[in-house]
């Protein structure tokens, strides 16, 4: 009969790697690693930091409460957390034991809980956990079942901590932060201002969704700084020119910008930012931006007495040129951001893309495009000497009920054959439909 293998006979570094593999493949349920922690004192010492390095509430408020209880009673456990995810939850009534421990924690932190645990238990527990994980590097915070439209539940407990002198809490290791609402509710960056105040070194910020720097929360947190953010992703929301400008202007040196428009609201007072306005706002980062990815296909367009959510870009709203973006390598857009003169019109020409793209461009993707886009792409290939770094192009016509409207765009086969031959001759790859699939997912 085979004898059990003595795990602790291995070097400690190997045992730690085994624990990390258990965490990696059992991330939906950390029970296996929990058993390892209880096997012996030696294994507990090695496995516990791995067990607590990652936490995901997995939609369970009870799990959050248990985790908060553990790190409140043993603060050293919170120091092990490297990555954490808060998301929507199933209701759980806090016990007297929970309430007592959390109240003691608030006293130690020097903050006033007031009625938070009764009125906003999810937001309260989220903030109390955040206050005890000083070494976290990656954080994803999604609010849920709160009336965020009124600014209720904003993360002001953390604002109290940020205002302390000297500070008792810091998130100086936090590099990646994702914030938002699981129901695409109207919510702002300022709603989560307390997190950002405590984390001065955030480099990647994702807001899902975003309706501006401030919405309805009062008083507004005017101490938010994004000076170290180099990658800004806005995944959904209805955002106006002033609101977008207020966020982008706080970023010190953007290298990557992504924006996908989708919202559950219609008829909001603030008009959504236009393609041209968006590029004008990004121009302050024209010498640092390497990548821009924008989908405004479902943007609300105001007419004289109505509004719509698809169609060709209005003349004057389109992007005209990116020539000033001296380092831009990747540009991904949908067909509503640029306007090709129609072949039947007297002003028809095929220089739109030649005039649009900067010399530095390497990857260009255009989906849900007009019929005339192929001829403009051919003209781009004719001018390839002006774009010596171009390596990949993706082009798709508008799909049925796509961003340009209900009519499907079928490109001319002869024009496509000509384009593909020119691309092959110039050793330019034809991109696949990854971007199309990503955008259609919304």
- Residues 307, 312, 313, 316, CA torsion sign: negative
Q: Which of 53-62, 319-328, 337-346 shows the lowest mean pLDDT across its residues?
A: 53-62
pLDDT at 310 over 70: no
In a domain, 439, yes or no: yes
Tell which wins on pLDDT, 368 or 297. Answer: 368
Across 315-328, average pLDDT: 96
User: What per-residue confidence (pLDDT) applies to 431?
Assistant: 87
Secondary structure (DSSP) of 58-122: TTBHHHHHHHHHHHHHSHHHHTT--EEEE---B--PPPHHHHHHHHHHHHHHT---TTHHHH-HH
Domain count, the chain: 2
Confirm whether 13 is domain-assigned. yes
Q: Is residue 345 part of a domain?
A: yes
Q: Does residue 304 register a pLDDT over 50? A: no
Could you tell me the pTM of the whole model?
0.89
Residue 434's pLDDT is what?
Answer: 46
- The answer to whether residue 432 is domain-embedded is yes
Query: Which pair of structure tokens corresponds to residue 57?
Result: 């509430």
Opening angle at CA 206, ends 63 and 332, nearest 5 = 140
Reported as half-sphere exposure (CB side, CA atoms, 13 A), residue 320 has a value of 7
**Cα–Cα distance list, 213 to 7, 87, 183, 207, 377 (Å):** 52, 22, 19, 10, 38
* Per-residue pLDDT at 442: 39
Confidence at residue 34, expressed as pLDDT on a 0 to 100 scale: 66
Least confident of 30-34, 202-206, 360-364: 30-34
Residue 417 lies in a domain: yes
Closest of 342, 313, 325 to residue 281, by C-alpha = 325
Is the predicted pLDDT of residue 8 greater than 70, yes or no? no
What is the reported pLDDT for 149? 58
Considering 31-45, 151-165, 351-365, the range whose residues carry the highest mean pLDDT is: 351-365
- What does the pLDDT look like over 374-431, one tens digit per residue? 999 999 999 999 999 999 999 999 988 888 888 899 999 999 999 999 999 999 999 8
Give the residue numbers spanning the domain of 345: 336-442
Looking only at the bridges linking them, the beta strands covering 363-369 and 392-397 are parallel
Residue 404, pLDDT score = 85
Considering only CA atoms, which of 20, 21, 81, 92 is closest in space to residue 56? Answer: 81
| Confidence band, pLDDT 50/70/90 cuts, at residue 313 | confident
Within its chain, how far is the Cα of 162 from the centroid?
Answer: 24
More confident site: 196 or 118: 196
**Is 305 among the domain residues?**
no
pLDDT, tens only, 129-142: 999 999 999 999 98
Assess whether pLDDT exceeds 80 at residue 296: yes
Task: Give the DSSP letter string of 148-198.
Answer: GGGTTT-SHHHHHHHT-SS-S---TT--EEEEEETT--S--SGGGHHHHHH
Q: Tell me, yes or no, whether 361 lies in a domain.
A: yes
Distance CA 387, CA 148 (A): 47
Lowest mean pLDDT among 12-26, 161-175, 235-249: 12-26
Whether 432 shows a pLDDT value over 80: the answer reads: no
Residue 373's closest CA among 427, 400, 409? 409
* pLDDT for residue 226 is more than 70: yes
User: What span, in angstroms and rounded, lies between the C-alpha atoms of 186 and 212?
Assistant: 9
Which residues 6+ apart lie within 8 Å of 235 measured at CB?
A: 180, 206, 207, 208, 209, 210, 258, 260
Q: Phi-psi region for residue 345, left (φ > 0), alpha (ψ -120 to 50) or beta?
A: beta
Domain boundary among 51, 73, 92: 51
pLDDT band at 436 (very low <50, low <70, confident <90, very high): very low
| CA-angle at 184, arms to 179 and 187, nearest 5° | 55
pLDDT category at 75 given cuts 50, 70, 90 is very high
Instruction: Give the strand pairing for 330-334 and 54-56.
Output: unpaired
> Which residues make beta-bridge pairs with 55?
84
Q: What percent of the chain has pLDDT over 90?
A: 60
What does residue 163 show for φ and ψ, rounded to 5 degrees?
-85, -10
Last residue of a domain, one of 33, 51, 69: 51
Q: Are 314 and 277 in contact (CB under 8 A)?
A: no
Q: What is the pLDDT of residue 44?
A: 65
Contact 407, 398 (CB under 8 A): yes
Asked whether residue 426 is assigned to any structural domain, the reply reads yes
Tell me what the mean pLDDT of segment 103-118 comes to. Answer: 94
Q: Looking at residues 2-9, what average pLDDT do you find?
A: 54
| Stretch 193-199: mean pLDDT | 96
Best-predicted range by mean pLDDT (151-165, 299-313, 326-340): 326-340
409 DSSP 8-state letter: P
Say which residue, 145 or 362, is predicted with more confidence.
Answer: 362
Supply the pLDDT for residue 267: 72
Q: How confident is the model at residue 28 (pLDDT cuts 50, 70, 90)?
A: very low
């Amino acid at each position: 009969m085979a004898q059990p293998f003595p795990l602790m006979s291995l070097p400690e570094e190997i045992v730690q790697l085994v624990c990390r593999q258990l965490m990696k493949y059992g991330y939906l349920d950390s029970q296996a690693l929990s058993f390892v922690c209880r096997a012996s004192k030696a294994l507990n010492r090695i496995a516990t930091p791995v067990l607590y390095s990652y936490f995901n509430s997995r939609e369970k408020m009870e799990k959050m409460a248990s985790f908060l209880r553990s790190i409140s009673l043993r603060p050293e456990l919170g120091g092990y957390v490297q990555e954490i995810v808060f998301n929507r939850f199933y209701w759980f009534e806090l016990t007297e034991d929970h309430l007592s421990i959390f109240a003691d924690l608030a006293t130690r932190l020097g903050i006033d809980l007031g009625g938070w645990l009764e009125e906003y238990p999810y937001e309260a527990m989220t903030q109390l956990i955040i206050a005890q994980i000083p070494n976290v590097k990656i954080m994803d915070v999604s609010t849920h079942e709160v009336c965020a439209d009124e600014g209720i539940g904003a993360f002001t407990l953390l604002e109290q901590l940020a205002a302390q002198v000297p500070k008792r809490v810091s998130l100086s290791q936090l590099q990646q932060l994702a914030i938002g609402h699981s129901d695409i509710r109207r919510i702002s960056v300022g709603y989560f201002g307390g997190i950002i105040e405590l984390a001065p070194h955030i480099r990647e910020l994702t807001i899902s969704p975003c309706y501006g720097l401030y919405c309805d929360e009062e008083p507004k947190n005017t101490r938010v700084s994004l000076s170290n953010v180099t990658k800004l992703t806005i995944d959904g929301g209805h955002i106006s020119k002033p609101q977008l400008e207020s966020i982008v202007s706080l970023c010190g040196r953007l290298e990557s910008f992504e924006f996908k428009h989708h919202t559950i609201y219609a008829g909001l007072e603030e008009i959504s930012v236009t393609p041209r306005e968006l590029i004008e706002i990004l121009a302050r980062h024209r010498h640092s931006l390497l990548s821009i990815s924008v989908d405004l296909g479902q943007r609300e367009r105001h007419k004289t007495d109505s509004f719509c959510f698809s169609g060709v870009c209005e003349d004057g709203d389109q992007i005209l040129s990116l020539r000033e973006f001296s380092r831009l390598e990747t540009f991904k857009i949908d067909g509503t951001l640029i306007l090709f003169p129609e072949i039947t019109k007297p002003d028809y020409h095929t220089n739109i893309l030649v005039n649009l793209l900067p010399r530095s461009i390497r990857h260009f993707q255009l989906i849900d495009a007009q019929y005339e886009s192929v001829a403009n792409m051919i003209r781009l290939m004719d001018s390839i000497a002006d774009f010596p770094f171009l390596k990949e192009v993706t082009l798709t016509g508008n799909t049925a009920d796509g961003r340009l409207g209900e009519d499907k765009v079928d490109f001319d086969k002869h024009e496509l054959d000509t384009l593909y031959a020119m691309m092959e001759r110039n050793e330019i790859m034809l991109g696949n439909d990854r971007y199309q699939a990503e955008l259609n997912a919304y």
